[in-house]
Structure 1
Amino acid sequence: MRLTVLGCSGSFAGPTSPASGYLVQAEQDGRSVSLVLDLGNGALGALQRHLDPDAVSAIFITHLHPDHCLDLTGLYVYRKYHPNRPPVPALPVYAPAGAQERLAAAYEGMDERGMDEQLHFHPVHDGSRVRLGPFVVTAYRVNHPVEAYGYRVEADGQVLAYTGDTDTCERLQALCADADLVLADSAFVEGRDLLRG
């Protein structure tokens, strides 16, 4: 399993990094299978430096704050209007309930079909499990002011645990247990976390 950091700036894209976005790849039968964990603002541009967005097999969104999902609107445009590509099936997007409506509202003015022909949204819940190529991805509900999930990604005997935005919570223990790599968003909480120097 390979991990590429597309962006890791918190809350908004920074001068040298997009917001959250991570490319995870593994081999199966001589071909690379690619997943994306979050696609925050700016991450779609970075993704294109590593592979054609049409080569992505699925996207997993932790929560619906813009710094974790907003570039899905750009991906919709890429897939719908790209002039030199044949039609492709809708890309599976696994996300909290309401993602399709939220992102359609962000891209106001589309026709009655919305994003359906380009992005196929699947709501996740605590314990949701998706098998895709060599991957098994399990969702864990985490502690954030909005509905949010961490993802445990397993392939080839390796485990990547991605927390997304969360405060401490009981589900982190199961999410991160025996992981080969824990990819954890982190930040200071004003008034609670003190920097001592």
Structure 2
Amino acid sequence: MIDDTFRLTVLGSATPYASVDNPCSGYLVSSGGTRIWVDAGSGTLAQLQRHTHLGELDAIWISHLHADHSADLLTAYYAALYADLRLTAPIPLYGPPGTADRLAHFLTNGPVRSPVESAFAVHELHDGHQVRLGQLMLTSGAVQHGMPAFGVRIEAAGRSLAYSGDTAPCAALTRLAAGCDVLLCEAESNEAPTEGDQVHHTPEDAGDTASAARAGRLIVTHVGRFLSPEQAVARASGRFGGPVDYAAPGATFAVG
């Protein structure tokens, strides 16, 4: 019998580089046999294999092309084409415009472009992009990170998970997360930078976004190196009245 529990599993949440016990940003979202690898930061491919294999994924979704959210696509490429996996078709990959060319730039070592599309069926995201993958409906929304970047709302059986990716506080994320059961929100910044330069949430911002979106639960992730998880949770809790958790590596959360 297939377990239809809607789950978020944290593969890693470190920034801007992996620690000895925490890979960079990456998550496995699953429901009823549908599995999506959300962000592929360095170190997350190894942790993904604790739960599933590349060949069993329904898709990969990438918020933006900073290395701490996408670097393991490079090793996934070699796994898909040159190792023990035998894919029946390229893995659907949803990412910002230019994803395929960015991968090819890193992977090509001679005059012939690496066959990125043999490993990944690349679909470029845009604001309002929607796709149904098995039991999961994904709606992507453009957010503010100083480069093409997206958040995502994932829904299954009336329950919803919203993920910020990396972004400054913005109305677009609040709309995307409106009424969600769980908001997975970055809280990297220790202190807000000067006006006009902010491209991340502080923990207080994460709490404010969760409150404005009327989220049921907040999970802070991507906590900066100058904060402890406990500090981030405490600071976010000062702005949000619902439950607040930390995206600890290896943790699994039921959505709804």
Superposition TM-score, scaled by structure 1 size? 0.91
Contact 1:70 1:103 in 2 (8 A): no
- 3-state secondary structure, aligned to 1:116: helix
Work out whether 1:159 is the aligned partner of 2:164: no
Q: Which has the higher helix share?
A: 2
Shift of 1:91: 0.5
Task: Name the counterpart of 1:18.
Answer: 23
**Aligned AA for 1:43?**
T
- 3-state secondary structure, aligned to 2:186: coil
> Could you report, residue by residue, the CA deviation over 1:32-71 in whole angstroms, capped at 9, with x for unpaired residues?
1101110011110110111122111001100010000110
Contact 2:40 2:72 in 1 (8 A): yes
Contact 2:55 2:87 in 1 (8 A): no
> Could you report, residue by residue, the CA deviation over 1:88-137 in whole angstroms, capped at 9, with x for unpaired residues?
20001000000111111122327435211111110010000011111110
Superposition TM-score, scaled by structure 2 size? 0.71
Aligned in 2, Cα 1:4/1:191: closer, same or farther, shift over 3 Å? closer
Q: What's the RMSD between the two structures over aligned residues? A: 2.0
* Larger RCO: 1 or 2 (CA < 8 Å, sep 6+): 2
Task: Name the counterpart of 1:67.
Answer: 68
Equivalents in 2 of 1:108, 1:13: separation in Å?
25
Shift of 1:175: 1.2
**Aligned AA for 2:145?**
H
Equivalents in 2 of 1:114, 1:102: separation in Å?
13
Higher Rg? 2
Shift of 1:87: 3.9
**Aligned AA for 1:148?**
A
Structure 1: stretches of 5+ with no match in the other structure:
none
Aligned residues: 192
Alignment of 1:1-197 (within 5 A): 1-27=6-32, 32-83=33-84, 85-109=85-109, 111-112=112-113, 114-188=115-189, 192=193
Q: More deviation in 112-121 or 161-170?
A: 112-121
Equivalents in 1 of 2:182, 2:26: separation in Å?
16
Equivalents in 1 of 2:19, 2:42: separation in Å?
10
Aligned in 2, Cα 1:182/1:76: closer, same or farther, shift over 3 Å? same
Contact 2:80 2:86 in 1 (8 A): no
Equivalents in 2 of 1:81, 1:14: separation in Å?
28
Q: More deviation in 39-48 or 9-18?
A: 9-18
Q: Which has the higher strand share?
A: 1
**Aligned AA for 1:13?**
A
The 4+ residue runs of structure 1 with deviation greater than 6 A are 193-196
Structure 2: stretches of 5+ with no match in the other structure:
1-5, 194-201, 205-226, 232-256
